[in-house]
A and B are shown apart, each in its own frame.
Chain A
Amino acid sequence: MPEKETPGVPENENILSGTRRDFLKQSGFLTAVALTPIGIVKAAESHLDEKVAAFFEKMPLKMEVNGVSHQLSVEPRSTLLEVLREQLDLTGTKKGCDRGQCGACTVHVNGKRVNSCLSLAITNNNKTITTIEGLADGDELHPMQQAFIDHDGFQCGYCTSGQIMSAVACIHEGHAGSETEIREFMSGNICRCGAYPNIVNAIQEVSKGGNKA
């Protein structure tokens, strides 16, 4: 797997070196809880309130995204959606409502579809993420991408990456048995342009093609 260096890593490289590691070892309480590393350690060293020191620290995050392993440094409050778009420049995943209400931000985490706007990036440490950019095989579109084109499964296209990620998962889960089932299990993806009938047709074609994608 290719390893990609991302700017911002070095500051976190020495988290567990020297006295810091000893400090973590010594504290019985901390052995059971992995706290915000640098902040806590710095705070303990300088007798600061741990909360104050920990607030503005970034934390190391390792994720595999579309087959590429990334070492990142993120604020605890960054969502997976923000990190994908703003740190990894994977802008195919869209921010619609930012509140779990539209599905535009749908990606796969360890093979399951989730709303990346409600997932803190830091909770995805060591997980495998697939975004719309990771579906195609080189120049060859994923069958679901092709089906969306063939069936006119979009107008403005804003919801489309979320729709496609969701559609691929819908078939995987075995929830594409009938039009009714597809509609129910695609209901987490809103399309303001109302491309629904064509989206359902696209999914049915891929599903009937026996393409488990």
Chain B
Amino acid sequence: MNQFQYNKANEPHSAVKLVAKDPDAHFLAGGTNLIDLMKMGVVNPTKLVDINHLPFSKIEKLPHGLRIGALVSNSDVADSELVKAGFPLLSQAINAGASPQLRNMATVGGNLMQRTRCPYFFDTTLPCNKRKPGSGCGALEGINRMHAIFGASDQCIAVNPSDMNVAMRALNATVHVSGPKGARGIPIADFHRLPGEQPELDNTLKNGELITAVELPYSAFNKNLSYLKIRDRTSYAFALVSAAVALHLEGETIKEARLAMGGVAHKPWRLSAAEEFLKGKMVSEGNFRQAAQIAMKGAKAYQYNQFKLKLAPNTLIQSLRIASGIAAS
């Protein structure tokens, strides 16, 4: 790992100031992604700003929802009684990711910001437009088994690897940030971006902006839900495909559905058309199959991830069955 200057921030504004004025400065939270990338030489900061002492470690009840500080560990979010009661989908998704040790270290802010696991991004001897703009996308015609089937571009077909982000997308989270020009709230839908012509940008944060908290609005999506993650082994592996499903049911009728997928796109992928289709429909195998068919419109696979065109709808259908109670989890 290269040498760097270590700075411990005691106030948010000084952390923001340090990172805003230096393109080679990075915030350090749990370190589980950043330190890994630094060891691999993928990211080479000359300055780290340790934000772990900033006052963002609380989960607070708001009149209309929950506010989760950016530095709350992934384990503390998943284990929180407030989260388990109001947003069990989030608990399930977080517990499906990484390992207990990593979840103890990883923070909410760091998880939102984690980089792709695309092997071409990680290997500095291979081309990757995300790591080195203009060098080409090695995955496009390479080993692209883990890669996107939605929203990719000819510049980048990497996916966002997070489980937490998928649940947050389904739950309409708002990401609160504080930057050199003040504070703002970013709807999660607008936080992560598609690669387009600028795959080096994972999200819409501006220079020096620091995530301070995530807010989740209370909803009726805390009873019938399922986060189903399919991976190469039962645990401690990134998703090939995951499907977050939360249903607001009245008897057998779906009043409203929230559906999002992980492992399929450069951002957590919301399935709005399928949600629209399910609105007012009965819980049934047939309706779930149709919803999955709608969800897959526009999907495009590459040489080694063709299997996702089947795996994705099947995962969604099974997750819908579990959420609605017609299948056991």
Contact = CB atoms under 8 A, between A and B. Distances in A.
B4 A77 contact: yes
Contacts, number: 120
A156 to B, nearest CB: 20
Contacts of B10: 32-34
A124 B117 CA distance: 27
**Which interface residue of B4, B6, B101 has the most chain A CB atoms within 10 A?**
B101
Contact of A76 (B4, B30, B234): B4
B100 A188 contact: yes
Interface residues of B, number: 42
B36 A99 contact: yes
Contacts of A131: none
A131 B39 CA distance: 23
B13 A32 contact: yes
Nearest to B96: A184
B101 A123 contact: no
Interface size grouping (class) on chain A: 35 or more
Contact of B39 (A36, A50, A99, A175): A99
Interface stretch (A16-24, A83-91, A107-115, A201-209): A107-115
A119 B36 contact: no
Contacts of B40: 99
Given A103-B101, A119-B31, A29 B17 contact: yes
A35 interface: yes
B9 interface: yes
Interface in A109-134: 112-115, 118-120, 122-123
B212 to A, nearest CB: 16
Contacts of B3: 55-56, 75-77
Interface stretch (B46-54, B173-181, B243-251): B46-54
A123 B52 contact: yes
Closest 5 CB pairs between A and B?
Answer: A188-B99, A187-B235, A76-B6, A32-B14, A54-B5
23 contacts: A32-B14, A33-B7, A33-B14, A33-B49, A34-B8, A35-B8, A39-B5, A55-B4, A59-B6, A75-B3, A98-B39, A100-B102, A106-B101, A112-B75, A114-B105, A119-B105, A122-B50, A123-B50, A123-B52, A169-B100, A184-B234, A187-B235, A188-B100
